[in-house]
Amino acid sequence: MAAVAQETQETLTGIATGDVDVLATAIGLRESARERTGLDGRTFALVKIASLVALDAAPASYAWQIANALEEGVEPDEIVGVLIAVAPQVGGPRIVAAASEIMLALGLTLPEGT
């Protein structure tokens, strides 16, 4: 087992449990990063979703980024547009996997068999 500082453990616990104060810090970092890009909030959110698809990201990442995108005014059909746009570069399996995670993040029920 690795030696983990108490502060690190508390931060990880806060993130894992959705602690508002810990997440507010993360959101603040996100805003700072967005400002440095020169992108508007909607574009930034869509780029982040595209990067998650390309990386075959973890489910929790989708939940977080989809929520951010919706807060920025991104519509679900635009998120589908991102899937279509990146499909030639990332391939079908990643698009299929991402679609399921996006559906869950949007509060939709997955089709049977997925």
pLDDT at 43: 95
Cα within 13 Å of Cα(85), Cβ side: 12
Mean of the per-residue pLDDT values of the chain = 87
Who has greater pLDDT, 1 or 84?
84
How many other CB atoms sit within 10 Å of the CB of residue 31?
A: 12
How far CA 12 is from CA of 9, 23, 30, 79, 89, in Å, comes to: 5, 11, 17, 29, 33
pLDDT at 82: 97
The pLDDT of residue 80 is 97
- Of the CA atoms within 13 Å of residue 100, those in its CB half-sphere come to 14
pTM, to two decimals: 0.73
- The residue with greater pLDDT, 104 or 64, is 104
| Largest Cα–Cα separation, the chain | 45
Per-residue pLDDT reduced to its tens digit, 73-95: 999 999 999 999 999 999 999 99
Share of the chain above pLDDT 70, in %: 86
- Token pair in block for residue 55: 């990386």
